[in-house]
Amino acid sequence: MQAAENKVVSIHYTLTDEQGTTLDSSEGREPLSYLHGSGNIIPGLEKALEGKTAGEKLNVKVSAEDGYGERNEELVQQVPMEAFQGVDNVEPGMQFEAQAPDGNVLRVTVTEIGEEQVTVDANHPLAGHELNFDVEVAEVREPTQEELDHGHVHE
């Protein structure tokens, strides 16, 4: 069976950045399953998997644009330390959820701690990076009706 719209595709993958550093991998875990064509995974990877069958291996380079997007420096902001009341130790790398003015929930990462200000970055940690995926297709199957209705895979 080929990976196509509304098929459940399971893949093993290793994700590296431009320097060859491993950022994420399914090694030692269950393969990642997603519903093809539903935007469950990044567009560049989904496109490359189109038509692939179990056992096929591929190497996919995804530009930042087709991955997590370019970095947007407007998403880097200074917030007063008081905003972190109730948090014992604010440290770089910590992630928080913040409400944007439009009501969307943003996941922000603390990047710098000043005396009274904390710098937070709402860019996805992989924004602006070219992504390199080594992928092996583990399985392609029909979805259940419930998976189709929900638009995602149930493990």
Binding site for Zn ion (CB under 5 A): 150
| Cβ at position 147, least distance to Zn ion in Å | 7
57 versus 150: smaller Cβ distance to Zn ion: 150
Question: CA-CA distances (angstroms) from residue 131 to 52, 55, 109, 120?
Answer: 20, 22, 20, 23
3-state helix, strand, coil in the chain (%, to 5): 15, 35, 50
CA distance 116 to 137: 49
47 versus 154: smaller Cβ distance to Zn ion: 154
| Cβ at position 41, least distance to Zn ion in Å | 16
Residues in the chain: 155
Under DSSP, the state recorded for 71 is: -
44 versus 143: smaller Cβ distance to Zn ion: 143
| Cβ at position 59, least distance to Zn ion in Å | 31
| Cβ at position 154, least distance to Zn ion in Å | 6
Residue nearest Zn ion, Cβ-based: 150
107 versus 150: smaller Cβ distance to Zn ion: 150
| Cβ at position 68, least distance to Zn ion in Å | 24
61 versus 150: smaller Cβ distance to Zn ion: 150
> Is residue 32 within 8 Å of 24, Cβ to Cβ?
no
CA distance 59 to 151: 26
Task: Report which secondary-structure segment, H or E, holds 49.
Answer: helix 43-49
